[in-house]
Structure 1
Amino acid sequence: MKKSLTQRITLSVVGLLIALLFFFPTYWMFTTSLKTPGQVLSPDYDLFPSSATLQNFASALTKPGFVTYLGNSLIVTLGAVIAALVVGVLAAIPLARFRFSGRKGFLLLILVAQLAPLSALFIPMYLLMRDIGLLDTLPSLLLVYFATSLPFTVWMLYGFINGIPYDLEEAAMIDGCSRAGAFRRVTLPLLGPGLVTTSVFSFITAWNEFLFALVFIHDKSKQTLPVWLSSFKTAFSVDWGAIMAAAVVYAIPALIFFLIVQRKLVSGLTAGAVKG
């Protein structure tokens, strides 16, 4: 049913207000990063700062360990995302294409694993990493991020593969392709939006994780950027300007990754809703 002009205007205004509500914390973070210490601590909030300084960014980027922490975060995050995508595809293919005993129960277990709170897994994962000697190493974080993102990846890719007609693979096999070749040449290219969508969510989850990185890693040379952000707060003071500048810098890799894949992400979100 076609909406009236009044309805369209009302929905647009409501959507704009919601967008501003979510955008304001980011705007506040960015403007605070450009203020001097006196402006940051001033009781009068300046919505549009009359002057700006880059000193906070200089303080953040020159803080010891930034490049090391950035490299550690990229290693564990990208490693977890790639591993989750590979294993997720290999798990989603038989779940979507084959019919076997226990299939529905396995899908239910995947959903339950996804719904389980991450904090409930903290102690078991800590004990496991301690027993296998991986505490205070980057592989421990990589395995944790991989394990926490895998159920979501499998569940999403299962829906995407289900939404791709199997007739396309059958047609390719009739033309001479093997089953694996048909999947690689036909289904896998169509699965691109699904891979992008799951990789974005997995990337953001691993990139922003703080608690496991704080407890599992004690060696400062192996810590990640979320832990680095907490180092701006000491027992005597808090450098709010530098924290905001560091947060802006911290958000740039995720923003770049999102901008690169945004078109595929939008199409992937709609395609994944076809079947589940």
Structure 2
Amino acid sequence: MSLKSVATSFYTLLAVVIALAWAFPVYWMLNSSLLPNSTLQSLTPTFLPFGGSLDNFTSVFKHNDGSFFTALGISLTVTLSTVAIVLFIAFLGALAISRFRFKGRKSFILALLLIQMLPAEGMFIAQYKMMSSVGMLNNVIGLTVLYTAAVVPFTIWMLRGFVAGVPAELEEAAMVDGLSRTQAFLRITFPLLAPGLVASGVYAFLQAWNEFTVALVLMDGENQTLPLWLRGFVQSSATRETDWGMVMAASTLVAVPVIIFFLLVQSKMSSGLVGGAVKG
């Protein structure tokens, strides 16, 4: 066996080991969600859910009179609204800084990067007082506004690379052939930018879906996003131990919408990430 074949086999085995190490927590979460709490508290780990059931999922759905569906609705509303607004604003912003030369353009681009350096925790008090002054505490619209403001700067920077990678000459050639500027943009440029929009949408979706601290500061009572709702399963009281079976079942349910979203956009996302790596 040649040295090259040995090296290839070694790297293949290493990649498999890394992939298994990465996937194991996901498998352990799903496996534990099917096992009763008594089995999970045993000193002997159970790697296969033999004798398991869906009782933990049933308990999650019944927890606090179906609070899961309320939290799911709030999370979906906030996340999808954030993605739609962010992509609209970021797309226009990326077009402006990539296609036009205006005074303060470089300063604007630099400001986008500097904003990302600000620690989110340092703005909690200001955000809370701002939302309180306009009556948007414990409000889905207020939370969406804060998420949008947090995600837009980096999304503009991300989309800028995709827009810059599409030559303006393509639109000019289409206009020579008789299309208007709007028609040229919609028929020629926009389809080429679709993978970039998908990749940016995935980033915005994950940021809004998984965000915890801003929602913790702003939301209260029954108006909880799924990360806040999930926290309730982990917290223990003096009279009740944490039901890890329900925690794992709840965690699985929180992950399901993300998995579905990835399955829907994975083909476009792959080409978008590759495109963004070589353009700009």
Q: Deviations over 1:64-98 (max 9, x none)?
A: 21111111100000000000000011110011111
Matching residue of 1:246: 250
Amino acid at match of 2:255: A
CA–CA distance in 2 between the matches of 1:183 and 1:7? 48
Measure how far apart 1:48 and its partner are.
2.2
Match of 2:80 among 78, 81, 86: 78
Matching residue of 1:255: 259
Match of 1:149 among 151, 160, 176: 151
Moved more, 232-241 or 165-174: 232-241
Matching residue of 1:45: 45
CA–CA distance in 1 between the matches of 2:127 and 2:22? 34
Matching residue of 1:206: 208
Matching residue of 2:129: 127
CA–CA distance in 1 between the matches of 2:10 and 2:270? 24
Contact between 2:40 and 2:46, CA under 8 Å: does it hold in 1?
no
**Aligned pair count?**
273
CA–CA distance in 1 between the matches of 2:8 and 2:127? 50
Moved more, 179-188 or 240-249: 179-188
Structure 2 unaligned blocks of 5 or more: none
CA–CA distance in 1 between the matches of 2:101 and 2:207? 32
CA–CA distance in 2 between the matches of 1:239 and 1:128? 38
Amino acid at match of 1:247: S
Alignment map for 1:1-276 (pairs within 5 Å): 4-63=4-63, 64=65, 65-220=67-222, 222-232=223-233, 233-236=235-238, 237-276=241-280
CA–CA distance in 2 between the matches of 1:81 and 1:227? 20
CA–CA distance in 1 between the matches of 2:113 and 2:19? 30
CA–CA distance in 2 between the matches of 1:104 and 1:273? 22
Moved more, 105-114 or 28-37: 105-114
CA–CA distance in 2 between the matches of 1:212 and 1:41? 33
Q: What stretches of structure 1 move > 3 A for 4+ residues in a row?
A: none
Q: Deviations over 1:164-218 (max 9, x none)?
A: 1111111112123333332222111111100110111111111111112122111
Contact between 2:162 and 2:279, CA under 8 Å: does it hold in 1?
yes
Q: Deviations over 1:226-246 (max 9, x none)?
A: 111112233132111001001
Measure how far apart 1:5 and its partner are.
1.8
CA–CA distance in 2 between the matches of 1:27 and 1:56? 16
Q: Deviations over 1:5-46 (max 9, x none)?
A: 222222212221221121111111111111111111011112
Amino acid at match of 1:192: A
Structure 1 unaligned blocks of 5 or more: none
Q: What TM-score do the two structures reach when normalised by structure 1? A: 0.94
Amino acid at match of 2:5: L
CA–CA distance in 1 between the matches of 2:242 and 2:135? 36
Q: What TM-score do the two structures reach when normalised by structure 2? A: 0.93
Measure how far apart 1:143 and its partner are.
0.7
Measure how far apart 1:120 and its partner are.
2.5
Moved more, 50-59 or 84-93: 50-59
Q: Secondary structure of the residue that 2:278 maps to in structure 1?
A: coil
